[in-house]
Amino acid sequence: MTMTDVTLLKKECPFCNTVFVRSSTARRHLLHQHQKIIIAGSKSNQPKRKNLYPFNDINIEKYPDARIKYSCLSCTSSFDTKQEYADHLDHEHVFRSVCPPNVPRANGRWILQDDNVSLKFHQYRTSCFHATDYTIENHFNEILSLSGILMLQKRFDYDCLPCDIFPPTLLQDMRRHVMQELPHANFNPQIFVQIKDILIKYTDNQLDEDATQMQLLGLCDKVDQDERAVIRAIVGLIPALYDCNMTSLSDSHFSASFVHPFMHGLFSSKQPAKVAQCSNILADEQGTDNKNRPDYKVDVYEAYEYAYTNVYGKIKPTKDISPTLLVNDFYQVAILCKDAVDQFNLDHSIGFQLAGSLLTWFAMTLRYDQLYTFTEIASVDIPMGKADLPNLIGHLDDLVRVSKIHKTLCEPSPNDHEQLRCPTLSQSYFDSFTDPDN
């Protein structure tokens, strides 16, 4: 090999003179400085390149006669001139131009008492479009806002949203307003007492497993469909609960033995056909470029054919994982729920995140122009052992409410929401937050 056979690849913006070390930094620069989203290429499909080295001081000194070419951020192509490189990027890898959101239409704004929530969110969202150097674990609210999503949590006194725009009292009022619009539900008090008595007898070994399940199922004729769903969810859990100190659970055991029986009981039905299922495959039913893999989903069928998906979830069998992975899972659930609302014109969709035993429910809806609310509904500790089963008693009302939201609101809306929608942030750009070494 001679020095003239060597090519040094330079990572430089084709539209200005900025030089980069990492492709992810270059993509952020192209977005914020040149309003271009660059789609990341698939590294697994790229051939190995010979005699090609990074353009840096060490290689310049080592190969003084080497050719210098401009390296594409998204594929193995390289170019002699910046104009050739710019034409290639524009033709092959630019997803779409990006610009700050339009001002919400006057007749589509959220006015809460004296606060114009829509204009406040527009102000916040516009500022997020101009910011740089986000990380998913520290800026998930900012990243969600780029897709028009506003997160409303039970615990509202955080500094992750600017207090001059969204003071804690306003966030509390906003979530209260959304929750008041959701259906309310209280478990039948007489049946509540009977369930409590059955579960306590079971954990005290006064009833065996079969008798416990049969007595619980015997109550289904006395309650409505939402309470019946909660009873089925509890019955589904019982076979997986042992009176011993369980070792760490694998992902597959946790999903198959704990998550699926519970979710299947709560969400599945035969008429109409609603199929709750473990997933872990691309959510290709949405037809977007956000190729997320939900761990769980609920598909709805009409006239024997697939119609839509209205529940998405992410599952981790333990809480002892990095905050980045947990926040990334939460973000994926939010995007899956938003895309379902858009793709299927749903009134609501439900998302959940399960980390260890802690299960948290969220509701996504689009009520106002370019403003989706992703509202925390409730949190429940899923029993992991026989002794933990009575802990569900305190959450029966929450579970009934989740079931009622699913059955009454998570379906196509009679109103066309197309005029209210806004685009979802490209997966290609989001990848730059979670793959900084790309």
- Is-contact 240 265, C-beta < 8 A? no
| Separation of alpha carbons 102 and 119, rounded Å | 11
Here the tokens at position 413 are 């809306």
Per-residue pLDDT at 158: 66
CA dist 6 and 15 (Å) reads 26
- What pLDDT does 129 receive? 79
Range from 92-106, 162-176, 344-358, 372-386 carrying the lowest mean pLDDT:
92-106
Helix, strand, coil percent values for the chain (each to nearest 5): 45, 20, 35
Report strand pairing: 305-316 vs 296-302: antiparallel
Predicted local confidence at residue 44, as pLDDT = 45
Neighbouring C-alpha atoms within 13 Å toward the C-beta of 89: 29
Return the number of other C-beta atoms located less than 10 Å from residue 394's C-beta.
11
Average pLDDT over residues 230-238: 97
Distance of alpha carbon 77 from alpha carbon 111, whole angstroms: 51
Instruction: State how far the Cα of 283 lies from the Cα of 342, in Å rounded to an integer.
Output: 14
For 85-100, what is each residue's pLDDT tens digit?
999 988 887 765 456 7
Question: What's the whole-number mean pLDDT along residues 170-199?
Answer: 96
User: Where is mean pLDDT largest: 36-40, 48-52, 115-119, 131-135?
Assistant: 115-119
Q: Is residue 431's pLDDT more than 70? A: no
Cβ within 8 Å of residue 153, ≥6 positions away: 171, 175, 376
On average, the pLDDT of the chain sits at 89
Give the pLDDT confidence of 3-21 residue by residue, as tens digits.
558 899 999 999 998 988 8
Nearest by Cα to 379 from 353, 400, 405:
353
Can you give the pLDDT at residue 37? 72
pLDDT for residue 43: 47
Q: Give 288's pLDDT tier (boundaries 50, 70, 90).
A: low
Q: What is the pLDDT of residue 47?
A: 46
Pairing mode, strands 273-278 and 149-152: unpaired
Confidence category of residue 249, pLDDT binned at 50, 70, 90: confident
- CA distances, 22 to each of 27, 376, 434, 435 (Å): 9, 37, 13, 10
> How confident is the model at residue 438, as a pLDDT?
43
Place of tokens 């008693």: 393
CA pair distance 389, 200, nearest whole angstrom: 8
Higher pLDDT, 97 or 424: 424
Q: Is the pLDDT of residue 156 over 70?
A: no
Q: Rounded CA gap, 108 and 379, in Å?
A: 31
428 versus 211: which is more confidently predicted?
Answer: 211
Q: 315: closest CA among 345, 276, 346, 344?
A: 276
Tens of pLDDT, residue by residue over 40-78, are 655 444 445 578 889 988 999 999 889 999 998 888 889
Q: Report the 3 state secondary structure along 190-203.
A: HHHHHHHHHHHHHH
Contact in structure between 243 and 385 (CB atoms under 8 Å): yes
